[in-house]
Amino acid sequence: MTLPREQKYFILRTKPKIFEEIFEKLLTHFGPQGWWPGETPFEVCVGAILTQNTNWKNVERAIQNLKEKGLLSPWELSQIPLRALAELIKPCGFYNLKAKRLKNFLEFLIEHYQGDLQKMEAEEREILREKLLQIKGLGKETVDSILLYALNKPIFVVDAYTHRIFSRHKIIPEIATYDEIQELFHQNLKEEVDLFKEYHALIVACGKNYCKKNTPQCSACPLNVFFS
């Protein structure tokens, strides 16, 4: 990786196993998280799209609406009119926009894989990722969440909590990009699906409970003693 940013490597130079040690510290503190919540791979895909810019409780309400109508399958959901879909997912916010994104994903899934997620899963990771990123409205975090949690592809999901926690501890610079952060995880960890799932979930737990945006609870954070 070509990154002439010396501050990024201070901790990595002195503690080459820092990523593994952080994982163990978080796992000891929080325990296994068992992510992603979802009964089927398709439900995970829907949740990954709906969770953009909202909290999970709102997504659960939206998904429950779809379940109650018997619509939580690619073919059933593809048949519902856009406006009706938007009303059903209203609890998750930005519902008109997210309804369009869901429709875009469904169109892609049906056109390229006949609505079969197992066929999609059989695709090579990088090729599939590039295809998914071409779907209007799906960004890298959403696509990687689908790849990791729904399709069991070993790819690390980077979110706002990841950037906040690791930049606050000077492991990455504030200006680090999504791809740069992801590459660091891939370089410093074994590319294992279960490890990446658990690590991402633990980062979210740490971010929600301690490394908050405006009121960080540093004294109680499990990583505070670790980095002191």
| Contact predicate 52/160, CB 8 Å | no
How far apart, in whole angstroms, are the C-alpha atoms of residue 138 and residue 144? 10
Distances (CA, A) of 164 to 53, 75, 141, 180, 213: 16, 39, 15, 14, 8
Percent of the chain with pLDDT over 90: 82
Percent of the chain with pLDDT over 70: 92
pLDDT computed for residue 16 by the predictor? 63
How far apart, in whole angstroms, are the C-alpha atoms of residue 73 and residue 117? 11
pLDDT in tens, 157-183: 999 999 999 999 888 888 999 999 999
Domains detected in the chain: 6-31+156-227 (1.10.1670.10), 41-150 (1.10.340.30)
The shares of helix, strand and coil residues in the chain, as percent rounded to the nearest 5, are 65, 0, 35
Widest pairwise Cα distance in the chain: 57
Reported as half-sphere exposure (CB side, CA atoms, 13 A), residue 127 has a value of: 6
Q: What is the pTM of this model?
A: 0.91
pLDDT computed for residue 153 by the predictor? 98
Give me the sign of the Cα torsion angle 144, 154, 213, 202. Answer: positive
pLDDT in tens, 31-63: 999 888 888 999 999 999 999 989 899 999 999
pLDDT computed for residue 1 by the predictor? 43
